[in-house]
């Protein structure tokens, strides 16, 4: 493209305007890309995607097809520093392009909390109120309704907000120290109750439900859940500094990612909060007025989030591959080797799970889930539900749970417990508070584990007796020995209703502490337990599955003769597993695995 007009040989003003727009576009592209000097380069697909979007954007500027003149943009890539929040709205076209799931390190960063408008309408005489949760901040600020379901799954029982009884008389002595403690607290990973991860099936979030999936995501997250990795903290919201109108309530920072790097994202959540703390700590360190402290509430913190924009852009653009170390400023992450990637989610959740459940309990719970019983777990602690349920799903590998799965079922959706299909649900609370509502559902085959009281309950109607069909893992002496190192409780702490004096779970012995002092040795122990479960599923089930065209029903392209297949498996499997396999063959988790095995033959038939 010449700078002079072909006809009049004078400077073309349109060219000058176009160059200015190209310069602006470079800045927008920069916010999308990683810092190449510190992060491993983009893969081939991402490079192609970036190039296509650059050409498309230039084509839009000059109102023509970019494919007609692909050489109009040859400007060199330059690094610019951009932290203005207005850049969000100017990078939508580039930012939201996908070629496959897992292309981004994380999809979005959210902050969830109380509906502030609802708080403003609360009567001044009300000291406690339950308000609806709401997304208070989203990065990047596109597709704002994409995560409308996330708040109720994160706060299934709503948000309890407590009015801070503050006045000019008691502020300095009583209120100010409490506010300063909130502002100045330094958050660290403690495996506490405020750290948890929930999952949402990608079909529940309509965007990209049919896209191809990267191999790393497929290996580490075979169900292709969106992981909502949450860090919950206590905050205060000041509605009116002049009247000291202030509320105390929890808020949640969360990353949404297809990658189950849960520990890393929790650490990054803490880093973000600690970084924002520096923006609001000044009035706490000097003799500032009470109003200045009140102004440093969550709303103020939200306004300062532009200080972390560059960091989030760069982090989001990391291209994940096996066995790589990524260093971006102070951020460092080591991805596992291909043969270890499947343990990512398990290694986060198993520690607390193994401390909570005895070996018999664990086997009994896994058996109920894999045999498609309706299973409900109750716990007052979100972290316990999150750890236990994700561990159970992980230990079922290579079988993928194909039925409804929800770590925190919202209170307003509790009627889903009457669903006609099997499910695996977690409820934040105690069984006693929900027993009447569950009985009203009049649904059969429900097994309920109350992790608070260590008791198991059953629905009034049971169409099958699963006690005789439990997976024979409990006879695996090697696995029991490994597990006893972490939890040496010998008896099943879950007691059926009606028995007196339920036995409490025994604490683990000192051998566990010895292992935990050597982190590498302890992690290897956990991996050995996971591998032992996989070995059991292989020796008991998968190695006996025949894969042959003759097991497809005559005249059908993709329907198996399960009766014939069952007869072959039962003739080969160990004697002590026959009852378990008879029950397993009939449920969706197993038939889903069969469909994966027979996929090639199905395609040939078509």
Tokens linked to 574: 């160990």
**Which contiguous run of DSSP H or E holds residue 196?**
strand 195-201
Helix 359-370 and helix 382-395, axial crossing angle in degrees, nearest 10: 70
- For the chain, the farthest-separated pair of C-alpha atoms sits apart, in whole angstroms, at 100
Q: What is the pLDDT of residues 5-48, one digit of tens each?
A: 434 445 556 666 666 666 666 555 544 444 333 334 445 555 55
- pLDDT recorded at residue 1: 43
| Distance (Å, whole) CA 271 – CA 248 | 22
Q: Are 267 and 152 in contact (CB under 8 A)?
A: no
**Which contiguous run of DSSP H or E holds residue 229?**
strand 225-240
- pLDDT recorded at residue 289: 67
Tokens linked to 99: 């070629």
Higher pLDDT, 565 or 291: 565
Q: Are 85 and 306 in contact (CB under 8 A)?
A: yes
Q: What percent of the chain has pLDDT over 70?
A: 73
- pLDDT recorded at residue 201: 76
Confidence check: pLDDT of 501 > 50: no
Question: 248 in helix, strand or coil?
Answer: strand
Q: Are 496 and 456 in contact (CB under 8 A)?
A: yes
Q: What is the pLDDT of residues 533-554, one digit of tens each?
A: 998 899 888 899 888 888 888 7
- pLDDT recorded at residue 494: 59
Confidence band for 94, pLDDT divided at 50, 70 and 90: very low
The Cβ of residue 337 has, within 10 Å, a number of other Cβ atoms equal to 9
Confidence check: pLDDT of 591 > 80: yes
Confidence check: pLDDT of 393 > 70: yes
- pLDDT recorded at residue 114: 93
Q: Are 587 and 396 in contact (CB under 8 A)?
A: no
- pLDDT recorded at residue 230: 93
Most confident of 58-62, 68-72, 93-97, 157-161: 157-161
Only one residue has tokens 């209120």, namely 175
The chain-wide mean pLDDT, for the chain, equals 76
Confidence check: pLDDT of 161 > 70: yes
- pLDDT recorded at residue 428: 93
| Distance (Å, whole) CA 249 – CA 3 | 60
- What are the start-end ranges of the E strands in 367-454? 374-379, 405-406, 424-428, 446-450
| Distance (Å, whole) CA 537 – CA 514 | 30
Confidence check: pLDDT of 497 > 90: no
- pLDDT recorded at residue 98: 63
- pLDDT recorded at residue 48: 54
Q: What do you get for the CA distance between the two ends of the chain, in Å?
A: 52
Q: What is the pLDDT of residues 199-209, one digit of tens each?
A: 887 655 545 55
- pLDDT recorded at residue 74: 34
| Distance (Å, whole) CA 354 – CA 335 | 24
Segment 57-75 mean pLDDT: 43
Q: What is the pLDDT of residues 350-360, one digit of tens each?
A: 888 988 888 88
Which residue stretches of 357-434 are H helix? 359-370, 382-395
Confidence check: pLDDT of 97 > 70: no
Least-confidence region, from 215-229, 442-456, 480-494 = 480-494
| Distance (Å, whole) CA 524 – CA 530 | 10
Higher pLDDT, 480 or 448: 448
- pLDDT recorded at residue 112: 93
Higher pLDDT, 415 or 112: 112
- pLDDT recorded at residue 13: 62
Higher pLDDT, 429 or 6: 429
426 beta partners: 377
Least-confidence region, from 74-83, 87-96, 152-161 = 74-83
Query: What Å distances lie between residue 567 and 354, 440, 570, 602, CA to CA?
Result: 36, 40, 5, 22
| Distance (Å, whole) CA 198 – CA 205 | 14
Confidence band for 387, pLDDT divided at 50, 70 and 90: very high
- pLDDT recorded at residue 438: 81
- pLDDT recorded at residue 456: 87
- pLDDT recorded at residue 80: 28
- pLDDT recorded at residue 91: 36
- pLDDT recorded at residue 163: 86
Q: Which residues, 6+ apart, have CB-to-CB distance to 244 below 8 Å?
A: 164, 166, 167, 168, 171, 175, 290, 294
Q: What percent of the chain has pLDDT over 90?
A: 16
Confidence check: pLDDT of 563 > 70: yes
Q: What is the pLDDT of residues 293-317, one digit of tens each?
A: 777 887 787 777 777 777 788 888 8
- pLDDT recorded at residue 64: 45
Measured on CA atoms in the order 377, 380, 382, 384, is the torsion positive or negative?
negative
Most confident of 26-35, 76-85, 139-148: 139-148
Confidence check: pLDDT of 73 > 60: no
Least-confidence region, from 60-64, 284-288, 377-381, 414-418 = 60-64
The Cβ of residue 329 has, within 10 Å, a number of other Cβ atoms equal to 11
- pLDDT recorded at residue 32: 44
Q: Which residues, 6+ apart, have CB-to-CB distance to 337 below 8 Å?
A: 322, 323
Only one residue has tokens 């580490």, namely 220
- pLDDT recorded at residue 47: 53
Segment 48-71 mean pLDDT: 49
Q: For residue 303, is it left (φ>0), alpha (ψ between -120 and 50) or beta?
A: alpha
């Amino acid at each position: 493209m010449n700078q002079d007009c072909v006809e009049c040989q004078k400077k073309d003003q349109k060219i000058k305007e176009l160059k200015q727009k190209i310069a602006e576009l470079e800045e927008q592209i920069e916010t999308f890309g990683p810092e190449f000097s510190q992060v491993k380069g983009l893969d081939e697909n991402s490079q192609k995607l970036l190039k296509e979007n650059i050409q498309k954007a230039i084509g839009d500027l000059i109102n023509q097809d970019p494919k007609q003149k692909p050489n109009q943009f040859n400007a060199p890539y330059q690094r610019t520093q951009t932290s203005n929040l207005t850049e969000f709205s100017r990078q939508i076209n580039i930012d939201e392009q996908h070629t496959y799931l897992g292309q981004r390190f994380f999809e979005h960063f959210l902050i969830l909390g109380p509906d502030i408008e609802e708080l403003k309408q609360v009567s001044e005489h009300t000291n406690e109120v339950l308000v609806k949760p709401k997304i208070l901040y989203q990065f990047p600020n596109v597709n704002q309704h994409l995560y409308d379901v996330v708040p109720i799954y994160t706060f299934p029982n709503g948000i309890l907000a407590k009015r801070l009884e503050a006045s000019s008389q008691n502020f300095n002595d009583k209120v100010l120290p409490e506010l300063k403690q909130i502002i100045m607290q330094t958050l660290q990973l403690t495996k506490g109750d405020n750290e948890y991860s929930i999952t949402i099936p990608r079909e529940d979030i309509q965007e990209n439900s049919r896209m191809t999936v990267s191999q790393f995501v497929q290996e580490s997250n075979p169900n292709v859940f969106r992981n909502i990795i949450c860090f919950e903290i206590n905050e205060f919201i000041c509605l009116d500094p002049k009247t000291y109108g202030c509320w105390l309530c929890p808020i949640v920072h969360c990353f949404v990612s297809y990658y189950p790097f849960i520990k890393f994202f929790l650490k990054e959540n803490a880093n973000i909060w600690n970084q924002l703390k520096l923006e609001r700590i000044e009035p706490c360190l000097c003799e500032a007025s009470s109003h200045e402290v009140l102004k440093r509430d969550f709303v103020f913190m939200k306004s300062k989030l532009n200080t972390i924009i560059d960091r989030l852009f760069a982090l989001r653009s990391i291209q994940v591959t096996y066995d790589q170390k990524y260093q971006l400023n102070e951020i460092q992450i080591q991805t596992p080797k291909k043969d270890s990637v499947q343990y990512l989610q398990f290694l986060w959740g198993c520690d607390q799970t193994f401390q909570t459940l005895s070996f018999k309990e664990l086997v009994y719970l896994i058996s109920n889930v894999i045999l498609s019983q309706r299973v409900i777990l109750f716990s007052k602690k979100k972290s316990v539900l999150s750890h236990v349920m994700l561990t159970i799903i992980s230990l079922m590998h290579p079988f993928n749970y194909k039925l409804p799965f929800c770590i925190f079922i919202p209170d307003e959706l509790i009627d889903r417990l009457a669903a006609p299909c099997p499910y695996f649900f977690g409820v934040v609370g105690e069984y006693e508070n929900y027993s009447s509502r569950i009985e009203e559902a009049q649904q059969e085959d429900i097994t309920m584990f109350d992790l608070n009281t260590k008791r198991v309950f059953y629905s009034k109607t049971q169409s099958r007796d699963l006690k005789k069909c439990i997976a024979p893992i409990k006879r695996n002496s090697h696995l029991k020995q490994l597990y006893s190192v972490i939890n040496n409780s010998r008896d099943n702490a879950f007691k059926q209703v009606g028995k007196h004096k339920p036995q409490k779970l025994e604490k683990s012995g000192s051998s566990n502490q010895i292992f935990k002092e050597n982190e590498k040795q302890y992690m290897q122990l956990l991996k050995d337990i996971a591998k032992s479960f996989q070995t059991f599923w292989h020796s008991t089930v998968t190695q006996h599955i025949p894969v042959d065209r003759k097991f497809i029903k005559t005249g059908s392209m993709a329907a198996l003769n399960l009766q014939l297949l069952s007869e072959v498996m039962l003739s080969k499997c160990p004697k002590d597993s026959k009852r378990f396999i008879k029950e397993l063959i009939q449920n969706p988790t197993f038939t889903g695995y069969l469909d994966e095995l027979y996929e090639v033959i199905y395609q040939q038939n078509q």
